[in-house]
Structure formats: structure tokens, C-alpha cells
Amino acid sequence: MSPLRRPYRGGLLRMSGVSFVLHIALVLLLSLNPWPTIVRARPDAYMVTLMPVSLPEPEKKPSLPVIKEEIPKPVEKPIEKPKKDDIIEKIKKTPRKEETVEKEKDSLKHLQEAIEEIRKKAALDEIQKKVARREKVEERPIVTVTNPPLTNPSLTNLPLTSSLKSPSERESKLSEYYSMIWTKIKGMWTIPENLLKEMAGLETVVVITTTRDGKIKDMWVEKRSGNTLYDQMAMRAIKKAEPLPPIPKELGENTLEIGIRFLPD
Amino acid sequence: MLKKIILIFIPICLTFTFSAEARVYLDINAPTLIQIPIVLSKWKNVGKTPATLSEKVYEILANDLTLSGFFRVIDYQHLPLDLQRKEGIPEVLFLKEWMPAGGEILLAGETFLDSAGLNLRLKFHLFDLVEQKHMVGKEYEAPLQNLRAMVHRISDEVLLQLTGEKGIHNTKIAYVSLQTGNKEISISDFDGANVKQITNNQSINISPAWLPDGKKIAFTSYLKRNPDLYLTDREGKNPIRFSYYPGLNASPSWSPDGKQIVLMMGIEGKSDIFLIDANGGNPRRLTRGHGNEASPKWSPDGKQIAFISDRSGSPQVYLMAADGSDVRRLTYEGSYNTNPSWSPKGDRIAFCGRVGGRFNIFTIGTDGSGLQRVTSNSGDNESPSWSPDGRYLAFSSTRTGGSKIFIMHANGLNPRPLTQAKGGESSPAWSPRFE
């Protein structure tokens, strides 16, 4: 076997030389490859978000205009400037350092969704012809704008005026409020027993806007049951429940929109 | 994106749905089952109308609404003093005054009898005290003798407004009465008023049935020894014998268009279902089995006929097409099911079934599903007949001793005797509405 080794040794040296060159080439190539760049870019982007939003970061630019584009549309219908400022201000006041770009984009998407929702609602309101009863139209969109963060798993954005520090505190306060509303309306919902059978399987959804003084500022049927009487009875239950428990001050909300689903069982 | 937080409250669940649009939804179920509290304010006598007339109107109205089973009538005499005195129709603007009455609805009205004392005018208005708004107002004018019918119309309208279906206050019930010692046919208003015996032949008169227009009643009578079919008007005048084939001529049921009659005919212990024309001619046999067939009832849409057959060994309810084809058995529970009655909407059939030696009322879907027992622990209950709105059943019951006619909701609630008359009663047949 030994005679065979010699030529191999020379080949081994040559091969290791080639291997070295190839490795160098590979390393160089890899450093130019876009894939690892993204991996590295991530911490870069991460760093960007760490910077205070007040600084005009280049990364921010593409995102802010998106908001600006979206805002003017709802403004046309129900709301004026204050809302626009509100949104921008809120974005600025999101000093969550752990937030990634993705999350930021996500919340922006929520904002867009919310804005889209506002537009839908504005249209609905017109249909409902209840605009006349609403003097301060701006209030409703503000509620919807401040609320989407609440839907985020992390409950990132607290309302500006809220005195509650943690999201869970706010959540439990809300739950408490909703359960009081639930109890009050349920207590007022009555149906003659002899009608219950005729109403089996029906569902009516009424949306109400409650206020800080427990009044119902707005009320409309979102889903009719197909049985006028059943719808009437649902509306009547809500009317009878007025005044409702006032919105807790700690929540910092002037109005809250709540859907009430009436199911006979 | 979407987060749902479900909170469980005591046994009932309350769902908060935090959705992207930030609207929380609260699920409210299991409403409190109470009757609608309706305030009946004192009726006003306009002009020289005698006070007793308004009192009569008030009494009939309160009774109608109570009997319907949907209302808790708040009598004006039980109101706070200042409201007791208020009579007639209030202004919508002053509806707030009625809040202490404790009702959700206010029914107010006026009675006006013309100077000749012949023509009566009734005006009523219905108000929603919760929403503080006017609901409906109507005026009726008719000769004084139609007072009851006029008040029943008001009740019907109130029912329509508050329960979504017109009432059945202007209907009658025909039944077999033993008051004279013989089986005679009587009719009564739905509230037990105006009882009238329409046969008086000292024979045996059974199985009354209304014509679709409610103007005439058919029945089987043994007046000429053979059980033949007779037809008479609501006053019992001009009875005519119109089906007298040898043997049994019984249990007639009109097709909805009034052109044909399905009935039970038979000789020598074997009975079958036959069709005849409205004048009694042209008999056609629909069933040809070896069993006995009885109690045919035409469906409200005229396409089917329900009947009883013992072809399986025990009497059971069957359905067939109006031409006798497509026979199928409907009831399988129990060994004795009779007296089928088709609900006006055509979706259910009420019948009498024997359980543990006692007869009770059941209802079942026409597809055989949803069997429900409606009476229990209250003597023998037989011969159910639906009200034209499908909300009530008239039936005979021995719950208070002898067999009497009772009325209850189709769910078995609020049973009440039709009349306070003495003597046995059986085989009720509910009329259509009289317009």
C-alpha cells in the first residue's frame, strides 16, 4: 500500500490548495449573496425601530405616507383634521422598543383596517339617517381608532386619556363594564312564554353607542331576525335598560360601541 | 388580527368578541318569560253614551287579552289614583304620565253611541310606553248588537301589533253538547259567549265540521236512523241531509276550495275513506286496504289527507295524497292514535294518543319528526282542533270531571274551559275567522 501513497500526497496538497481557493471563493460569494444579507439586515432594521420615531429615519418614510394617503379619505366624510393628528400622534407615542418592523407594519395594517372600517361606518350612518342626532360626529371615529390597538395581542396603544396603566387593567375594567351592560339589558329582555316557540332560533343584533352618562347615543339593528316583533322586543329591552351603567372614567372613552346579540336559546 | 376572549358568567355565557373593528358583542339569551304588561285605561263615553256600554266594552276587551295568554292586563282600577281618573285617548306628548302605571303598552279608547241608540262607534289607540310612541289607532262603526264582534276586532288588532299575528277573537267553536240529555250540536264564541244550540232533534248528532267559509256546519245525525250527513247554517236553520249512502256517513272534511268532501263511509263494520262532491254526489273510494279507515282531514294546502287506519293492527295516523295515492304511516309511538287535526300552517298534526290507559293530546311534524306531548296528568284529553292562527288547540277533557271543551296554547299552556255550562261536551271544531 505504501508505494501508492506518494502520488497521493502530492495530489492531497494540490487538492487542499484547490479547496482553500474554493473556500475563499465561497466565503466571498456568500458575502455577496442576498439571502445572508437579509439575515444580517434584520438586526439593522431592528436597530432602526429602536430609534425614536421623532427622528426622520429613512426606514420610516415609506410607512408614514401610507397613513397619510389613507387618512384624507375618511376625513372627507365624517371627520376633520383632529383625527389625522390624533393618529400620527399616536404612532409617535409608541415607544415600544422591542417592536420589530413587522409588528409596526402589522399595526399600520390594523390602522388601515380601522380606517376602512370608519369609512364603512360613515356610509352606514348615512343610510341609518341618524346623523342628525349625532352632534359631534368626530367622537365615533376616534373611538374606533383608539380601539384597534386593543385588538392587538399586546394591547400596545392605550388611549391617550386613559388613567389605567396596564393593558390588563384596562381589559378588566372593560369586562366589568360590559358585564354590567349585559346584566342590565338581560334583566329587561322579556318575551311571553307562548311566543317563545315561534321565536326559536331567531337572532337579532342591535348595535348601541353608549356614553359616559349611561345614555344610548345611537342604536341601530345590525342584523334583523326576520321577525319584526322579535326585533322590536330586542330594541325594547335596550330602551328599558336605559340609563345604562356609565362608561368608567378610567377608560378615557367618551363613547363605546357595543353589539348586542339576542338569542332566545 | 382577531382575538376572542370568552368569559363565562355563572351558568350562562357572555361572549365578548374583541374584533378588528373594536366592537364588542354581548350574547344575551334566555329572556325572562313574562306576559306583556298592558295598561287598559278607562274608556271614555262620548256624548250621551251610557256608562254601562263602555264598561261592557272594557270588560270584553280585558277578557280577550287575558284569554290570549300573551298579556298581563293592568286594570285601570288598580292604577295610581290620578291615572284611574284619566279616560279616553291621551296625547302622545303626555305619555310620560303613564309611566307609573307599570305597563309597557297603553290601550285607550272611546265609546260613542248615536242619539238614536242604534249605531255604535268604537275608537281605540295603542301606545308604546317604553318608546313613548303611538302604535296604531282605529275606529269601528256598526249596529249596537255587533258590540262583541267590534270589540273582538280591536283585540285582534292589538294581537297583530304586539304578537305579530292577528288574533282569533272573532271565531267560534262547534261541539257536541249533552246538556239536553241528547247529543246535540252547539256553537260558542271562542271566549265562551253566545252559546247556541243549533240542532234540537232529540236524536244523536255528532262530528261537527265547518265549511271553509265558516258560514255552515256539517254534522252526522241519526235522525233518520242511518248516520247521514247534514248541513246547517250558524243559526241552526234550514238543515239539509246531503249524504245518505247506506251505512256510515261521518267525519266530513272539506277541501280548502270547498268543492269536495272527504268522509268516512262504511257498511257492516268495515269503514273506508271516500270523496264526494260538495252536493253529496259522485262518491269515490280512496282507501282499499283490509283495515278500517276513519277521521279523514284535508290538509290546508289541499294536497294531502290525514286519516286513521288500523291496517297495522292498531289505530295509527296516516297521510296520503288527495287522490288516495302515496299512503304513509305518520305515527309509530303508542298503540292507539286517533283524531288527527291539521295545523293551519300545514306543518303539524295534532292527535289523541293513549298512554298508560289515558288519552292525551300530542302534536307531530308532518314528516314524522318532533313528536310532542301537550297534555299530561289531567284526565282524558281527546279530539284536538286547531285555532285558525295555529296558536291554540280546542279539545275535550275530563280533567274537571265530565268531558268538557277546553282551550289551551298549542304548547299546552293556559288551559281553560270554553264555557261554564253544565253537561258533557265533546268533539270541538274551531271555525275559520269571521271577517
Question: Where in chain B are the domains?
Answer: 1-30, 36-163, 172-430
Least confident of A194-208, B8-22, B175-189: B8-22
| pLDDT score, position A161 | 57
* Predicted local distance difference test score (pLDDT) of residue B311: 93
Same domain assignment for residues A134 and A175: no
| Chain A 109-128, residues with CB within 8 Å of chain B CB atoms | 110, 113-114, 117
Asked whether residue A17 is assigned to any structural domain, the reply reads: no
Contact B20 A257 (CB under 8 A): no
Residues A148 and A46 in one domain: yes
| A141 lies in the same domain as A211 | no
The pLDDT value given to residue A34: 47
A47 and A145 both lie in a single domain: yes
Q: Length of chain A in residues, anyone?
A: 265
Q: Give the least confident one: A37-46, B157-166, B280-289.
A: A37-46
Q: What is the pLDDT of residues B253-306, one digit of tens each?
A: 999 999 999 999 987 778 999 999 998 999 999 998 788 999 999 999 999 999
Segment B322-371, tens digit of pLDDT:
999 999 999 999 999 999 999 999 999 999 999 999 999 999 999 999 99
Instruction: pLDDT band for B80, please (50, 70, 90 cuts).
Output: very high
How many domains, in total, are found in chain A? 2
CB contacts, 8 Å: A181 with chain B:
26
Grid coordinates of B48: 250621551
Position A15 confidence tier, pLDDT thresholds 50, 70, 90: confident
Within 10 angstroms of residue B346's Cβ, the number of other Cβ atoms is 15
d(CA B417, CA A245): 47
- Do A113 and A182 fall into the same domain? no
| Minimum-distance CB partner of B9 among A179, A196, A227 | A179
Fold designation for B36-163: Rossmann fold (3.40.50)
Q: How far apart are CA B378 and CA B360, in angstroms?
A: 9
Which of A198, A240, A262 minimises the CB distance to B28? Answer: A262
Tell me what ipTM this predicted complex has: 0.79
In chain B, the percentage of residues whose pLDDT exceeds 90 is 85
> How large is the average pLDDT for residues B400-406?
94
**A127 and A202 together in one domain:** no
> Which letter, b or e, does each residue of A114-145 get, where b requires 16 or more Cβ atoms within 10 Å of its Cβ?
bbebbbebbeebeeeeeeeebeeebbbbbbbb
Looking up cell 248541513 gives B231
Quickly state the pLDDT bin for A63 (edges 50, 70, 90). very low
If asked whether residues A174 and A241 sit together in one domain, one would say yes
> What cell was used for A228?
319584526
Q: Which domain holds residue A85?
A: 42-152
Q: Which residues of B touch A (CB under 8 A)?
A: 1-3, 5, 7, 9, 14, 16, 18-36, 69-71, 104, 128, 130-131, 162-164, 391, 409-411, 413-414
> Are both A142 and A228 inside the same structural domain?
no
Please tell me whether residues A175 and A81 are part of one structural domain.
no
- Reported as a pLDDT band with limits 50, 70 and 90, residue A171 is confident
Shared domain for A56 and A131, answered yes or no, is yes
Closest CA to B42 of B145, B141, B111, B140: B111
CATH assignment of B172-430, among 2.120.10.30, 2.60.40.10, 3.40.50.300, 2.40.30.10: 2.120.10.30
User: Rounded distance, CA A158 to CA A94, Å?
Assistant: 9
pLDDT of residue B136: 94
Task: Confirm whether A175 is domain-assigned.
Answer: yes
Nearest C-alpha of chain A: how many angstroms from B165? Answer: 10
Of B19, B33, B71, the CB nearest to A193: B33
Flag whether residue A201 sits within 8 Å of chain B, measured between CB atoms: no
Do B33 and A192 count as a contact with CB atoms less than 8 A apart? yes
Q: Which residue of A has its CA nearest to B71?
A: A192
Helix (H, G, I), strand (E, B), or coil: what is residue B180?
coil
Average pLDDT score, chain B: 91
* The pLDDT of residue A107: 55
Model confidence at B49: pLDDT above 60 = yes
The per-residue pLDDT for A22 is 80
Q: Tell me, yes or no, whether A15 lies in a domain.
A: no
Q: Is the residue at A100 inside a domain?
A: yes
Residues A148, A247 share a domain: no
Kindly state the helix (H) or strand (E) to which residue B62 belongs, with its residue range.
helix B51-68
Which region, left, alpha or beta, applies to residue B104 given φ > 0 means left and ψ of -120 to 50 means alpha?
alpha
3-class SS string, chain A: CHHHHHHHHHHHHHHHHHHHHHHHHHHHHHHHCHHHHHHHHHHHHHHHHHCCCCCCCCCCCCHHHHHHHHCHHHHHCCCCHHHHHHHHHHHHCCCCCCCCHHHHHHHHHHHHHHHHHHHHHHHHHHHHCCHHHCCCCCHHHHHHHHCHHHHCCCCCCCCCCCCCCCHHHHHHHHHHHHHHHHHHHHHHCEECHHHHHHHCCCCEEEEEEEECCCCEEEEEEEECCCCHHHHHHHHHHHHHHCCCCCCCHHHCCCEEEEEEEEECC
**At A114, is the pLDDT very low, low, confident or very high (cuts 50, 70, 90)?**
low
Q: Is residue A191 part of a domain?
A: yes
Q: A182 and B26: CB-CB below 8 Å?
A: yes
What pLDDT was estimated at residue B269? 77
Query: Quick check: A239 and B130 CB within 8 A?
Result: yes
Instruction: Please report whether residue A233 resides in a domain.
Output: yes
pLDDT reading at B73 higher than 90: yes
Domain finish residue from A105, A121, A152: A152
pLDDT band at A25 (very low <50, low <70, confident <90, very high): confident
Domain end position, chosen among A127, A152, A177: A152
Which of B22, B28, B164 is nearest residue A150 as measured by Cβ atoms? Answer: B22
CATH number for the domain including A233?
3.30.1150.10
Looking at chain B, how many residues does it have?
A: 435
Q: Which pLDDT score is estimated for A197?
A: 84
Cβ contact, residue pair A194, B71, below 8 Å: no
pLDDT (mean) for A232-247: 93
Residues A180 and A224 in one domain: yes
